[in-house]
């Protein structure tokens, strides 16, 4: 079990105890940057109770360097990477063992805790992420994993050389692994919970970085995407389930000014936090002006969400979440993604920093 954490341990210590209670045949490696003295002390005490390797750095070395350093110390045949805001649920080890009998690299099912409007929209985001990996397992063609909970065989890491210095190392890592011929898998028995930003500005900064990182990873792995164009398009529509109804709404009769206004605002989606809000407001006007199309789209989206809600035991999604996602959250997130496409298209994928985040 590998953890890379900056400044604070977060949920690491609780997860360590819970995972060890399920299996003693595990090892834990913590790569910590700039932790407080009391947290360092706690980690060192835990070394006496658990098979724990604690690697602390007084100055920040960055997540990618931390992950790769931890890999060098790992001895196991299966490597699991967990973010320090993730909470694991019961059955964690059994779920990992089952998944690694079916595939080579994948992720657990990721849930979102919290009940504010951002968390409620993010539930459907993560439902899309989880559904995408499930489909990738069926097709054998994958385009990345979510860094909250990555599960992989050691041979994968050895062949592709660990993580690269990019904005979103998780999606790049998963894509390279799949391109190298390793089978993607969704660990259906592994359920973890992660957090969501508690205000809009934090959400926008997080999602702008994610979106730009995703586009950078896509550009850097262009050859693999070009080899699998249909799977690439299908993955995009699944991981962001708003895309399909959005395109229908744009192609259907409606206010031309609202349509053009949305695209114009979305171009600036990763440059200014106001842009996604403006785009979402214009989409709402468009949907209200074409109520029949909007209702049909909402029905299609609702069926898709309800299917995967049951299939992946994602019971926390409620009907009001679907309404929030379709009319407001989805249009914001898609505007950020459109802005990231424009940004990476202009800047190119050879970037080592975005919005203060160094690759």
Q: Which domains does the chain have, with CATH numbers?
A: 2-199 (3.90.550.10), 233-358 (no CATH)
H/E run at residue 55: strand 52-57
Instruction: For residue 84, count other CB atoms closer than 10 A to its CB.
Output: 18
Q: Are 64 and 167 in contact (CB under 8 A)?
A: no
pTM: 0.93
Chain segment 343-356, per-residue pLDDT in tens:
999 999 988 888 87
What is the per-residue pLDDT for 331? 98
Chain segment 166-211, per-residue pLDDT in tens:
999 999 999 999 999 999 999 999 999 999 999 999 999 999 999 9
Residue 358 has pLDDT above 90, yes or no: no
Strands, E, within 17-104: which ranges? 28-33, 52-57, 78-82, 87-88
Q: Are 49 and 17 in contact (CB under 8 A)?
A: no
Q: Are 251 and 242 in contact (CB under 8 A)?
A: no
How are beta strands 105-112 and 184-194 bridged, if at all? parallel
What is the per-residue pLDDT for 357? 75
Strands, E, within 71-172: which ranges? 78-82, 87-88, 105-112, 149-153
Residue 234 has pLDDT above 80, yes or no: yes
């Amino acid at each position: 079990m590998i953890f890379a954490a900056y400044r604070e341990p977060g949920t690491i210590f609780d997860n360590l105890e819970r995972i060890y209670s399920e299996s003693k045949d595990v090892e834990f490696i913590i790569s910590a940057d700039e932790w407080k003295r009391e947290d360092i002390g706690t980690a060192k005490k835990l070394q006496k109770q658990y098979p724990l390797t604690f690697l602390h750095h007084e100055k920040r070395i960055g997540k990618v360097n931390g992950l790769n350093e931890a890999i060098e110390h790992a001895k196991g045949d299966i490597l699991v990477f967990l973010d320090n805001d993730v909470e694991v649920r019961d059955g964690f080890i059994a779920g990992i063992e089952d998944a690694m009998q079916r595939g080579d690299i994948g992720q657990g099912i990721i849930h979102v805790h919290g009940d504010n409007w951002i968390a409620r929209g993010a539930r459907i985001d993560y439902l899309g992420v989880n559904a995408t990996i499930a489909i990738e397992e069926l097709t054998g063609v994958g385009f990345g994993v979510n860094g909250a909970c990555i599960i992989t065989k050691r041979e994968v890491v050895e062949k592709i050389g660990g993580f690269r210095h990019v904005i979103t190392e998780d999606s790049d890592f998963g894509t390279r692994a799949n391109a190298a011929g390793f089978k993607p898998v969704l660990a259906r028995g592994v359920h973890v919970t992660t957090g969501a930003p508690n205000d809009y500005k934090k959400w926008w900064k997080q999602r702008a970085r994610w979106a730009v990182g995703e586009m950078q990873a896509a550009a850097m792995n262009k050859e693999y995407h070009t080899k699998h164009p249909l799977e690439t398009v299908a993955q995009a529509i699944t991981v962001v389930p708003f895309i399909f109804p959005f395109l229908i709404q744009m192609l259907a009769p409606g206010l031309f000014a609202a349509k053009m206004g949305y695209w114009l605002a979305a171009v600036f989606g990763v440059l200014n936090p106001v842009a996604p809000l403006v785009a979402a407001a214009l989409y709402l006007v468009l949907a209200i002006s074409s109520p029949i199309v909007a209702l049909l789209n909402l029905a299609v989206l609702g069926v898709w969400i309800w299917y995967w809600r049951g299939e992946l035991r994602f019971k926390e999604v409620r009907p009001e979440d679907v309404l929030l996602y379709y009319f407001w959250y989805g249009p914001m997130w898609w505007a950020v993604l459109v802005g990231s496409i424009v940004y990476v298209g202009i800047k190119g994928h050879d970037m080592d920093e975005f919005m203060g985040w160094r690759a």
